[in-house]
Amino acid sequence: MMRHYVFISLIFLISCGEYLSNWDTKENVDNKIIIECMLTNEYKKQLVKISRTREKPGVPAPVVNEAIVILYENEKAYYFHENEPGLYYSDSLFAGVVGINYFLNINIDNISYSANAEMLPVTEFEPISYSKSVTDDSLYILNGISTTYSNNETSMFEVLLDWSFLPGYDTVNGKAKILYYHIPFIDIPMIFAPAKELIQVPVGTKIIHRKYSINEKHTAFIRSLLMETEWRGGYFDATQGNVLTNFSSGALGYFSASTVLSKELIIMPK
């Protein structure tokens, strides 16, 4: 047991060092296609976002225009059109169906990019709780906002916060969006990830708490994405690598199909 603690201590000492590194930021990063689509069971116009890799950090990603986008649900085809630059919406309203393996095909400059995703059911969940701030009695903090793991299933959670309509907050940015995940395995970078900013909100804040089902391949994508983003900057960073994708022909991004369960609540004084 003592050897275990000594080993951890040594890693802490080694990992805390600072090094000067010169990053080779190429002016051209292959101009790769990035496709983002999360099909849900919500009855709406579904969205596909298409862009290209940006040449420099901090600049908007170039959008892709005039793509041909078709989503297949067994024998049925849904066509998408570019309503806004780089944003392709389905021509009709529809909801994804649990158990169906969807196929997305996109043609850009005579190159076909495709991916498939099966929609899984989502299970019930308890809406997020909150407690009074220790630094300000008029504010509340949300409990359980973190990247954590579960023994049961992988899920994505979205928390939408809105206090912009409250007196005294109409002139500030009174909205926030938080994403976090339940992942059924433990990663060292996840445990020792850097701390996140604490969000404090006033009484009366409206909360929409949503849970998304995630299949096994989507879990692998999220894990690789977190390894390169949220879990970086801790003591046990993994070796950098490419984020996984399920698209063919070298495209980046991910096509997923998720069932969504949504709950609403309002922060009340305690």
User: For 99-233, where are the alpha helices, taking DSSP H only?
Assistant: 188-191, 216-228
What is the per-residue DSSP string for 220-269? HHHHHHHHHTTTTTSTTPPPP-PPP---STT-EEEEEEE-EEEEEEE---
N-term to C-term CA, the chain = 44
Cα 119 versus chain centre, distance: 17
Phi and psi torsions of 168, nearest 5°: 90, -10
Residue by residue, pLDDT tens for the chain (270 residues) are 333 333 333 333 333 344 344 444 444 456 899 999 999 999 999 999 999 997 776 778 899 999 999 999 999 999 999 999 999 999 999 999 999 999 999 999 999 999 999 999 999 988 888 999 988 888 999 886 654 444 567 888 999 999 999 998 877 788 999 888 787 654 433 433 444 567 789 999 999 999 999 888 888 777 776 665 554 444 434 444 467 889 999 999 899 999 999 999 999 998
**What is the rounded CA–CA span in Å between residue 25 and residue 100?**
42
Residue whose entry in the numeric block shows the structure tokens 């916060």: 161
Residue whose entry in the numeric block shows the structure tokens 């983002």: 36
188: left (phi over 0), alpha (psi -120 to 50) or beta: alpha
User: Tell me, what's the pLDDT at 200?
Assistant: 87
**What is the rounded CA–CA span in Å between residue 202 and residue 217?**
39
- Cβ distance 159 to 207 under 8 Å? yes
Residue whose entry in the numeric block shows the structure tokens 């951890």: 8
Cβ of 105: how many Cβ atoms within 10 Å? 16
Of residues 268, 42, 245, the one with CA closest to residue 158:
42
What is the per-residue DSSP string for 52-87? E--SSTTSPPPB--S-EEEEEETTEEEEEEEEETTE
User: Tell me, what's the pLDDT at 226?
Assistant: 67
Cβ of 80: how many Cβ atoms within 10 Å? 23
pTM: 0.75
Residue whose entry in the numeric block shows the structure tokens 């390894």: 227
Please give the C-alpha separations between residue 148 and each of 83, 183, 191, 230, in angstroms, as whole numbers: 37, 6, 8, 12
- Quick check: helix, strand or coil at residue 154? coil
